[in-house]
Structures are given as C-alpha cells and as structure tokens.
Amino acid sequence: MKHYLQFKDFSADEYRYLFARAALIKHKFKTYEKHHTLLDRTLAMIFEKASTRTRVSFEAGMYQMGGSVVHLTTGDSQLGRSEPIEDSAKVISRMTDIVMIRTFEQTKIERFAAHSRVPVINGLTNEFHPCQVLADIFTFIEHRGSIAGKTVAWVGDGNNMANTWLQAADLLGFTVHVSTPSGYEVDQSIAGVRAQKSYRVFSDPLQACEGADLVTTDVWTSMGYEAENATRMQAFASWRVTAGMMAAAAPGALFMHCLPAHRGEEVDADVIDGPQSVVWDEAENRLHVQKALMEYLLLGQLE
Ligand code: CP
C-alpha cells in the first residue's frame, strides 16, 4: 500500500504513468464516456482548512469513477474535540477505501497515514501541496510538452507550493528559479530535496523570471498565517508578478497560480487574466490528475 504525502513519494516512472493516465481520463470525461474504475469505493475527505478546488475535484472525481464520498471537517467531527489522530485513522480507514486530508503540520498527516489501513493523500499541509503541482505539471505538458530541461520561476512566498516545486524539479529534471523576500526563503531541509542543482535563488524577482518557461506564484499569506498578513503585505510588495516579469520570461512562457488569487497583490490582473495565463486549465486539471492518482493508489497501474 502506498500513500501520497509529498511529491517525492513517487518515482519519475510513476509520474510518467500518472500523466498518461490523467490524459486518458480527461479525454473520456470530455467525451462523456463512463470511467467507473472505482465502483463502490469510498473516499473520506478530511478538511481542517477551507477549500473550493480540492473539495470539488476530489468529490466530483470520486463520484465520476463510480464511488462515493464522506466529507468531514474539524468542526463537525470528533477531530475537533481532541480525539487522537491515530484513533481517528484506525476508525476512518476501517470504513472507507481511501482518505484525503487537508490539515496544518505535515506531521499530522504522517501520523494519520502510519495508523491507516488505506492509502492517504495530502490535500495540502503547511509544508506541501503535491496534488496541486501534479496538476500544474500536467497542465504544462498539455501546453508545452515535457517539462524536463525547462525552467520554472517561483515568485513569492517560500511556502508549501515552493517546497513541492523543488521536489518536483529534483525528480523530473527541470530547474526552479526561486525569488522570495528576505525572511521568507525556502528551507531546503523542509523541502527535502536531494541536491541544490535543481534550483537557483534570486534576490530580484525580475531576474528569476528571465528566460523562464513558466512563471508561477501563490498568495502572500497562506492559510494558517493570517496573523502575519499586515507584515507580509509590506515585505512582499516587490514580489507581484507583473507584465514586465512575463516579458522577461521566455517567448511563449506560461503563467500559473494555484488559486485563489488576489489581483493587485501577488499578481497583476493583466497577467492572470492575460493570454499567457493557464490558471483555469490548471484548476480543471486537479480533477483529472486526482482521478488518476486515486485509481493508481487503489488499483495500481492499469493497461
Ligand atoms: N489550490 C487549491 O488547493 O485550492 P483550494 O484551496 O480552493 O482547494
């Protein structure tokens, strides 16, 4: 049994399979062809933080594959009343086939997985957001082909998305140019990358974008850090993705944002709503890659 707790949990070969499978599943979805490979399977979704995309994509995806879903939050379950996470894992995993969790510390999802009888998927923690980067790379491949050898510019917070991009670059053979304000750098020990050759650090966000094939960012204040909002607004003021940064990127560079976005903060409206932006494909692709992911965790490689 495998879990998907961070991007580096899978090999490059497994990602090759998942991207191909997601393309097939997407094609069947677009042509209204049934894909009921998870008939009668049940997904438990546990949310300790808010969500739109993650909830809709996992819930719709499981139903579209013939399964069903149980939705739990901290407020409406015993998780919010201090039942030990290990006990919750033992109970929930005896009644369902697969579990998706969005929570705070990575250690919480690791503790859950250690006591689960079924696969566990990270739907976002403070440290990682592997399902999002899975969708992002699938989106890049759809628009531009293989990401191997390409350059991704990360502009903004050294957060869970940045950590996950670093792991992906390490595994799939591309480079990430990281530019964050001082004090918000990526912590290589948290990202857990094997070597520094897959990323370069830039103090100037414009320089980080020069020649990049993809420019991407995220909100300045991630969920769980709201108390730092005013300080972050000042610290991040120069880390807004602008049309000038996109012009410095490679010809045909894409723009991505995992959403939700704040126009006028981390990205200008003419970038996110402009011709280089693929944010709506990126959001939709959460559905297709996560269907491939759940199927792989439950059934292994098919065909
Ligand atoms: N990108 C993302 O995870 O979106 P939600 O927070 O809406 O799930």
Rg (CA), the chain: 19
Claim to verify: residue 51 and residue 125 sit in the same structural domain: yes
Mean pLDDT computed over 105-134: 98
Average pLDDT (158-184) is: 97
Ligand 1 neighbour 133 (Cβ under 6 A): no
Write the pLDDT tens digit of every residue in 67-96: 999 999 988 899 888 899 999 999 999 999
Q: Does the pLDDT at position 220 exceed 90?
A: yes
Mean pLDDT, residues 191-208: 89
Q: Let me know whether 163 and 196 are in one domain.
A: yes
pLDDT of residue 303: 77
Do 164 and 6 touch, CB atoms closer than 8 A? Answer: yes
Catalytic residue status for 131: no
Are both 139 and 123 inside the same structural domain? no
Q: How much is the average pLDDT of 189-194?
A: 84
Beta carbon of 121 within 6 Å of any ligand 1 atom? no
Residue 1 lies in a domain: no
Q: How far is the CA of 156 from the centre of ligand 1 (A)?
A: 17
Q: Report which of residues 196 and 134 the model is more confident about.
A: 134
> 258: Cβ below 6 Å to ligand 1?
yes
**250, part of any domain:** yes
Tell me what pLDDT residue 273 has.
Answer: 98
Q: Is the pLDDT of residue 195 over 90?
A: no
pLDDT at 192 (0 to 100): 84
Ligand 1 neighbour 134 (Cβ under 6 A): no
In a domain, 148, yes or no: yes
Average pLDDT, the chain: 96
Which pair of structure tokens corresponds to residue 120? 């566990």
Q: Which residues, other chains included, contact 60 with Cβ-Cβ below 8 Å and sequence gap of 6+?
A: 287
- Quote the tokens at residue 127: 């440290």
Asked if 243 and 177 sit in the same domain, the reply is yes
Q: Which of 96, 137, 136, 91 is nearest to 115 (CA)?
A: 91
At residue 196, the pLDDT reads 75
Ligand 1 neighbourhood includes 132 CB (under 6 angstroms): yes
Q: Within this chain, do residues 135 and 278 fall inside the same structural domain, yes or no?
A: yes
- 110 and 138 both lie in a single domain: no
Q: Are 19 and 88 in the same domain?
A: yes
Tell me whether residue 202 is in a domain.
yes
Kindly indicate the confidence band of residue 232, based on its pLDDT and cuts at 50, 70 and 90.
very high
Judgement on whether residues 250 and 288 belong to the same structural domain of the protein: no
Mean pLDDT of 43-59: 97
- Rounded average pLDDT over 212-236: 94
pLDDT category of residue 193 using cuts at 50, 70 and 90: confident
Polymer length in residues for the chain:
303
Q: Are residues 12 and 68 in the same domain?
A: yes
In this structure, the answer to whether residues 40 and 180 fall within a common structural domain is no
Using most ligand atoms within 8 A of CB, pick from 157, 164, 258, 262 the residue to mutate for ligand 1: 258
d(Cα 125, Cα 115) in Å, to the nearest integer?
18
Amino acid (1-letter code) at residue 180:
T
Total domains, the chain: 2
Q: Based on the domain organization, do 251 and 203 belong to the same domain? A: yes
Do residues 49 and 124 lie in contact, with contact meaning Cβ atoms separated by under 8 Å? yes
- Does residue 269 register a pLDDT over 80? yes
CATH of the domain at 32: 3.40.50.1370
Is 2 a domain residue?
Answer: no
Catalytic, out of 129, 177, 240, 288: 129
**Nearest ligand 1 atom, CA 223:** 6
Angle, CA of 204, 210 and 211, to the nearest 5°: 155
pLDDT of the residue at 83: 94
The 10 Å Cβ neighbour count of residue 19 is: 20
Q: How far is the CA of 132 from the centre of ligand 1 (A)?
A: 8
The rounded percent of the chain whose pLDDT value lies above 90 is 92
Q: How many angstroms separate the Cα of 178 from the Cα of each of 68, 208, 219, 254, 277?
A: 40, 7, 15, 16, 19
Mean pLDDT of 136-153: 98
Position with higher pLDDT, 303 vs 30: 30
- Cα separation, 281 vs 155, in Å, equals 20
DSSP 100-133: EEE-S-HHHHHHHHHT-SS-EEES--SS--HHHH
pLDDT confidence tier of residue 292, bands split at 50, 70 and 90: very high
Q: How far is the CA of 102 from the centre of ligand 1 (A)?
A: 10
Q: What are phi and psi of 247, to 5 degrees?
A: -70, -30
Domain containing 155 equals: 131-282
Q: Choose the residue to mutate in 55, 104, 121, 124 for probing ligand 1, maximizing ligand atoms within 8 Å of C-beta.
A: 124
Residue 102 annotated to the active site:
yes
The pLDDT confidence band at residue 286, using thresholds 50, 70 and 90, is very high
Q: Best of 46, 49, 54 to mutate for ligand 1, by most ligand atoms within 8 A of CB?
A: 54
Question: What is the pLDDT at residue 197?
Answer: 84
Does some domain include residue 261?
A: yes
Q: How confident is the model at residue 244 (pLDDT cuts 50, 70, 90)?
A: very high
Q: CA angle, 21 as apex, 30 and 112 as ends, to 5°?
A: 110
CA 261–ligand 1 middle distance (angstroms): 10
- Decide if 270 is catalytic: no
- With a 6 A CB cut-off, is 124 part of the ligand 1 pocket? yes
77 and 204 both lie in a single domain:
no
Q: Is 135 domain-assigned?
A: yes
Check whether 194 has a pLDDT greater than 80: no
Q: Tell me, yes or no, whether 249 lies in a domain.
A: yes
